């Protein structure tokens, strides 16, 4: 948010500034997923909406398995920035349509309580009540 405020102050300033933003080319296929999220975060801070949209699409289309395994990270990151709407939709869809995948995530135990409650109240949860209770107990003990 600080970068956004700085950029807005710069744009509102009556002085003339000759600013150049040079972006080099990178191959997203060669980046690990955390690096892509760092680039996405920076693009969001600088309000580079085309880049934000492109990175979100790339992640959803190419890194879905990683995002399911690291759902808590993706969920928290997506809702920290209002411009990550595609990631927010991805998370919401996964919660509503395939909640069992979240329970299978290795990082499941770090999800916040409100998300856990949303998961167990989901009508599409294709798990027995015993399995759900086992997961809730494991989450509570972690």
Instruction: Check: CB of residue 140 under 8 Å from CB of residue 134.
Output: no
Q: What is the pLDDT of residues 28-49, one digit of tens each?
A: 888 899 999 999 999 999 889 9
Domain-located, residue 69: yes
Domain-located, residue 22: no
> DSSP letters of 18-48?
----------GGGS-HHHHHHHHHHHHHTT-
Q: Provide the residue range defining the domain that includes 96.
A: 31-141
Domain-located, residue 10: no
The pLDDT of residue 104 is above 70: yes
Rounded average pLDDT over 12-40: 79
The pLDDT of residue 57 is above 60: yes
Domain-located, residue 99: yes
Q: What is the pLDDT of residues 111-121, one digit of tens each?
A: 888 888 888 88
Question: Which pLDDT band holds residue 55 (cuts at 50, 70, 90)?
Answer: very high
End-to-end alpha carbon distance in the chain: 33
Domain-located, residue 19: no
Domain-located, residue 23: no
Domain-located, residue 54: yes
Instruction: Check: CB of residue 70 under 8 Å from CB of residue 107.
Output: yes
- Tally of domains within the chain: 1
Domain-located, residue 4: no
Q: What are phi and psi of 29, to 5 degrees?
A: -65, -30
The pLDDT of residue 1 is above 60: no
Question: Which pLDDT band holds residue 17 (cuts at 50, 70, 90)?
Answer: low
Q: Which long-range contacts (CB under 8 A, 24 or more apart) does 59-66 make?
A: 59/33, 59/87, 60/86, 60/87, 60/90, 62/28, 62/29, 63/33, 63/36, 66/33
Instruction: Check: CB of residue 116 under 8 Å from CB of residue 132.
Output: no
């Amino acid at each position: 948010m600080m970068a956004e405020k700085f950029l807005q102050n710069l744009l509102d300033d009556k002085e003339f500034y000759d600013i150049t933003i040079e972006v080099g080319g990178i191959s997203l296929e060669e980046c690990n997923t955390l690096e892509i999220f760092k680039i996405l975060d920076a693009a969001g801070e600088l309000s580079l909406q085309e880049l934000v949209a492109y990175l979100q699409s790339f992640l959803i289309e190419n890194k879905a398995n990683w995002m399911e395994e690291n759902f808590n990270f993706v969920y928290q990151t997506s809702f920290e920035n209002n411009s990550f709407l595609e990631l927010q939709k991805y998370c919401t869809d996964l919660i509503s349509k395939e909640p069992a995948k979240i329970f299978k995530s290795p990082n499941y135990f770090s999800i916040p309580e409100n998300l856990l409650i949303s998961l167990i109240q989901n009508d599409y949860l294709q798990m027995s009540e015993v399995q759900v209770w086992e997961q809730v107990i494991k989450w509570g003990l972690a």
